[in-house]
Structure 1
Amino acid sequence: MTPMGEQGMPVGETAAQLGLTVRTLHHWDEIGLASPAARSAAGYRLYTDDDLERLRRIVVYRELGLDLDAIRAVLDEPGGDVAEQLRVQRAQLARRIAQLQHLDEDLERMIAAQEHGILLSEDEQRATFGPGWDTSWPAEAREAYGGSRQWQQYAERAASRSADDWKAVTRTVAAFDEELGAAIDAGARPGDATADALVERHRAVFSQYFPITRQMQVHLGRMYAADPRFAAHYDAVRPGLAVWLRDAIEASARAHGIDPDTATWE
């Protein structure tokens, strides 16, 4: 027998014994799920042994994941199939476990992307990005930009990209290089309509990595011309292309009210 007064146990003691809150017991009483059988002379709830046994069963089923309506059906419906109720709950639990496993896999990929940038092996990187790809570049990029918002955005996109997705990005970039080369061949000059259109196209293409503003684009253009690796890439497409692209980006920035010399990375 549970230690209690002559009529029953007060609500506070009952809640403490079962690891519940008084508010929970009041709620269960209000909805008719577990109402105390007795009241004190002052009108306070008192829980009998039978009440406590019902409460213990409710706690067990609630910990198994049944909602209150399902618990009521298990406890109160004559001939209710408890095993079937539990099978339904188990099936729901299996679906939730599968969802959590997928979430865990997604989180693992997100962590790896934040730490490494590209979730491809070195061999996969070379196969995806071509023989000119340097597999040390992702680590260098993280070292330089790992704390930035742009790196976070880049990693969020990288986390969901497969080798085929990266190949599609690479094809888009390569096609843009050809557009730049064709513009040079056609005599386009920084500031003209063709160059301005290509500057817009550049921002769209490279925003596949992270969103690029016009001011950020100015910094990228200057990096293309100043960094020997980027300059070599663009000048291999057409001699002088790195400087041409920088100048085209700066001309477009001026047309949009941005002074390239004071542009900030934002």
Structure 2
Amino acid sequence: FLETAGKEETHFDFFPFTTFNMTTLMNFYPNRVFLFGDILCFKFLISSESLERASFVGFFKKSWRNFIDEFTVDNLVLDIEVIALSVLFGLGERAVGDQIEQLIAPTVERRTIREAGGQRVVEIVPTPKYLATRAVSSLAARALFYPLQTGLIRFLTREVSFGGFAKLFISMDSLKDLYTGFSVNMLWSCGYALACSLFQYGQFESTTDGGEVTGAVSMVGGSLLYVGLVPLRIKALFDRAGLPYQFTWVPTFYRFASAMGIHSLGN
């Protein structure tokens, strides 16, 4: 937030190429800058190769081969279409979530970071109330956009074409099918929102006097929770893709690593 002469402006970095930090990853609204990597990870996740026994050399060989194989005309056209739709849906989800947040809590606490050249730079103080409000609003927006994001995954698996994407929403049966995996995904989303809250609260506390230990514990707790929820993330992605998957808390290394690498696809 940048405040100048009593006027406050909000700067929203949807693609913060130059402002990357851990909050970019642990964000209520996942950043779309990683979408191409998300696509690669998702395709590997649902492939039979993800079931193979892991090896250090094999991991890099498979990663490189999957990266090279993606550079075909058909794959790149599909990837561009998926990225474009994902960005569009992400913007809509963020806008709806922000509106819900404004309705719940129109005012937030801020603190001044610095003042220079007639400009006052302030930031939002992530109080428990603020974080709870943001979590609830982001979850509500995610639930509303769930069919669109699921349709995007079906598009990526080539179940539907770009031209036939809209047909997924014209009948009750197809629309109902887009809610496949909703309960598992929302369970993961609730855990993810809690992990983001812990991390962002910890990051703020670590900048206050005497809050370094509390901040570190909170950030570590949020990070561990995020990692611990990965098996649910895998189950949710398979369900949304319409693929069979037997849930386990101990997936293969390749599946675990692939799911860890997916930041915004399907969100």
Calculate the TM-score normalised by the size of structure 1: 0.22
The structure with the greater share of residues assigned to strand is 2
The structure with the greater share of residues assigned to helix is 1
Larger Rg: 1
Calculate the TM-score normalised by the size of structure 2: 0.22
Structure of greater relative contact order (alpha carbons < 8 Å, 6+ residues apart): 2
